A and B are shown apart, each in its own frame.
Chain A
Amino acid sequence: MSAIEKLPTEAIPDNGLLRFLTCGSVDDGKSTLIGRLLFDSKTILADTLHAIQRTSARRGLDIVDLSLLTDGLQAEREQGITIDVAYRYFTTGTRKYIIADAPGHEQYTRNMVTAASTADLAIILIDARKGVLTQTRRHSYLAHLVGIPHIVVAVNKMDLVDYSPATFARIRSDYLAFATALGITDVRFIPMSALNGDMIVDRGERLDWYDGPTLLDILENVPALHGEHAEKFRFPVQYVCRPQDAANPELHDYRGFMGRVESGELAIGDAVTVLPSGRETRVKDIQILGESLPRTVAEQSVTILLEDEIDISRGDMIVKTGELPKIARQIDAMLCWLSESPLDPRRKYLLRHTTRDSKAMLAGIAFRVDINSMEQQAAERLAMNDIARVSFKLAQPIFADPYAESRGTGAFIVIDESSNNTVAAGMIV
């Protein structure tokens, strides 16, 4: 059979790229859901399909187990669970998708946070037989904490509850009760059966009472933007280009400031301020590989040239004059501790924010969040998977915005210099 005969062969009308996250408990059918999206969107290729057909047969299954498509590592095959984020790709002809498949087990919360940090949308799976579980609340809280703007609650395994509208309605109201309290606003509900393919790509015939969109309809139409409000221009400098090519005198004075626009837009001629120096100048040119662009937008990697000669290095930030971020030596943040070694309040850590590093010391833990009850508790120390509101003192100032306004300039990681490991993820409040 030709599994992908309907893949587009024409130039793709491009509606950009959407990154989404799938999360749920171990047995909610997450891998089957992803397998179904790939299968029904004709993204699975013949040899991959044959391989999973063979494996399914070897395991004595009489249908093809689509969850095998996302089953990556040896250890997972042995344990039958997903232990790390796996990335999958498919395209519908209008949009390219990157799926981060996050594990459901509690001890792998750090991987869920990792997957959530780059996602624009989260699909939270609920087993229709079990309803809203602690795990559901935990994943929803994390998705919300990490600022994923769109949440889709997929009530799966409807086939096992006779496609009952009452079950779906009850789960929906249970979910809304705690989601509203958390402050989650953009949430949609879909009843589905990943096993049978109902309401994922095709509507199927067994959920006539549901008149909302299918999962793919939502994915196709959701805006692929982190925020829809006008954003302030933020350009952390990654690298300075000074060619100093003796053979080419034109390049003698070339100073290109290279980086990716974290948010906002910039045009040639705009007035800018460089941090930390505070020097002001104007944009002389914006380039990619010698080509001049009249303006640049969020997520674009460019080289900026300025009118005046200003000493700028990696870790500095170019912003529009009059739109300065906070220049902070102390920050308050929500912190997710990711490391097996607990946070040691006496130690100095390295804090990495944009392209800037600073030594950091814990100044205090305001509270720890019990992500099962959402209660705030007093805490002296933090262990792996703990989430807490903390404050840090910094040796060097950083140029920060609240995470809720700008992911790029509101996020940071904490590095333990004794191991070089990334030990925490932080979001500035």
Chain B
Amino acid sequence: MSTATLSRVTLSHLDWLESEAIHIMREVAGQCSNPVLLFSGGKDSICMLRIAEKAFRPGRFPFPLMHIDTGHNYREVTDFRDRRAAELGERLIVRSVEDSMARGTVVLKSADEPRNKHQSVTLLEAIEEFGFDACIGGARRDEEKARAKERIFSFRDEFGQWDPKNQRPELWDLYNARSFKGENMRVFPISNWTEIDVWQYIEREHLALPSIYFAHRRPIVRRSGGLLPVTEVTPARPGDSIENLMVRFRTVGDITCTAPVESDAASVTAIIAETAITTITERGATRLDDQTSDASMEQRKKEGYF
């Protein structure tokens, strides 16, 4: 027996996380008949595309990409989304919350209401339209309390609901993706990653990102302790004092509820340095809609949110 066999190599933590995520994606491909990968142009889903490349190249991805567009996205992000899908030569499906509004299946309480939670309706409509039996997403367990308890393969009933008290046991790396028609699985290959892991991976793999992840100057008003960018959908109110601040976004979602943080980090390396010493958790700083109540994410997931 060679000595090489005896001295077992331990994977670095990033290699281990990447390998786990590749394994999960291949299980989806092996077990599900019609999966889809949710791709928003955000940093987590950008990592997911690299993992999909490592999982399936030189073949095509065994699933299309899909974005549920709130209509409130930054142009830089949707442009990036389209460009990246084209570079990879993979099919991108875009389904729009605004179409659901036109159909009357999404009814807003007010015109400027955040549309994140309404993505659930459009997502469920798209799942039904295409008959998807699995949606692969980039959610992480470190993002939020309810997510910390969700399985990697998370079963949803025909209403898209997650039942936290009745989750399938998930043992070893033996995933059970079985579902009946109309039900589906949500699959989270980077469940075990933290925000810093994501940034380290982006740095290691030299992944391109939409420009708004890096420090740039933009008009901002300060509201309820957070920074609110002044945009067409979030105009300044009378009496607001508008500042031209150096900011970057840590998450890129619906404009009305995705706030930037003050920063002069212009590179991934600088962001990693900042992320490691930051004192605000990712969703806390930047997702105004999660602060509604302690249980708001759990509530939304039960309703079919990702």
A-side residues, CB < 8 A to B, are 2-5, 7-9, 12, 14-17, 45-48, 51, 55, 70-75, 77, 83-89, 91, 95-96, 98, 110-111, 113-114, 117-118, 224-225, 228, 230-231, 238-239, 241-243, 245, 251, 254, 256, 258-260, 264-265, 288-290, 295, 297-301, 314, 338, 352-355, 407-408, 411-413, 415, 417, 420-422, 425
- Neighbouring B residues of A87 by C-beta, 8 Å: 141, 148-149, 191-192
Interface membership of B57, Cβ < 8 A: yes
- Neighbouring A residues of B191 by C-beta, 8 Å: 87
In the bound complex, do residue B149 and residue A72 qualify as a contact, i.e. CB atoms below 8 Å apart? yes
- Neighbouring B residues of A3 by C-beta, 8 Å: 279
B-side residues, CB < 8 A to A, are 1, 4-6, 8-20, 22-23, 26-27, 29-30, 53-60, 62, 141-142, 145-146, 148-149, 164-165, 167-174, 176, 178-180, 191-192, 194, 196-197, 200, 272-273, 276-281, 284-285, 294-295, 298
- Neighbouring A residues of B285 by C-beta, 8 Å: 47
- 7 example contacts (A-B, Cβ-Cβ < 8 A) are as follows A73-B164, A73-B165, A96-B197, A113-B169, A259-B23, A260-B173, A355-B30
In the bound complex, do residue B277 and residue A5 qualify as a contact, i.e. CB atoms below 8 Å apart? yes
Partner of B149, one of A12, A85, A407: A85
Please measure, in the bound complex, the distance between the C-alpha atom of A73 and the C-alpha atom of B165, giving whole angstroms.
9
In the bound complex, do residue B13 and residue A14 qualify as a contact, i.e. CB atoms below 8 Å apart? yes
Partner of B277, one of A4, A71, A75: A4
- Give min CB distance, B278 to chain A, whole Å: 7
In the bound complex, do residue A297 and residue B9 qualify as a contact, i.e. CB atoms below 8 Å apart? yes
- Neighbouring B residues of A301 by C-beta, 8 Å: 18-20, 22-23, 26, 54-55
In the bound complex, do residue A75 and residue B165 qualify as a contact, i.e. CB atoms below 8 Å apart? yes
- Give min CB distance, A20 to chain B, whole Å: 13
Please measure, in the bound complex, the distance between the C-alpha atom of A410 and the C-alpha atom of B278, giving whole angstroms.
43
Please measure, in the bound complex, the distance between the C-alpha atom of A118 and the C-alpha atom of B27, giving whole angstroms.
17
In the bound complex, do residue B298 and residue A73 qualify as a contact, i.e. CB atoms below 8 Å apart? yes
Residue of B nearest to A227 (CB): B8
Please measure, in the bound complex, the distance between the C-alpha atom of A413 and the C-alpha atom of B30, giving whole angstroms.
17
In the bound complex, do residue B172 and residue A411 qualify as a contact, i.e. CB atoms below 8 Å apart? yes
- Give min CB distance, B297 to chain A, whole Å: 10
Would you list the 8 A-B pairs with minimal beta carbon distance, nearest first?
A46-B279, A301-B22, A47-B284, A420-B178, A96-B13, A238-B26, A14-B12, A117-B171
- Neighbouring A residues of B272 by C-beta, 8 Å: 9
In the bound complex, do residue A243 and residue B59 qualify as a contact, i.e. CB atoms below 8 Å apart? yes
- Neighbouring B residues of A95 by C-beta, 8 Å: 13
Please measure, in the bound complex, the distance between the C-alpha atom of A96 and the C-alpha atom of B200, giving whole angstroms.
13
- Neighbouring A residues of B142 by C-beta, 8 Å: 89
Please measure, in the bound complex, the distance between the C-alpha atom of A230 and the C-alpha atom of B18, giving whole angstroms.
24
In the bound complex, do residue A45 and residue B281 qualify as a contact, i.e. CB atoms below 8 Å apart? yes
Please measure, in the bound complex, the distance between the C-alpha atom of A16 and the C-alpha atom of B168, giving whole angstroms.
29
Partner of A243, one of B6, B22, B58, B176: B58
Please measure, in the bound complex, the distance between the C-alpha atom of A417 and the C-alpha atom of B168, giving whole angstroms.
13
Partner of A408, one of B4, B54, B60, B173: B173
- Neighbouring B residues of A77 by C-beta, 8 Å: 294-295
- Neighbouring B residues of A425 by C-beta, 8 Å: 169, 171
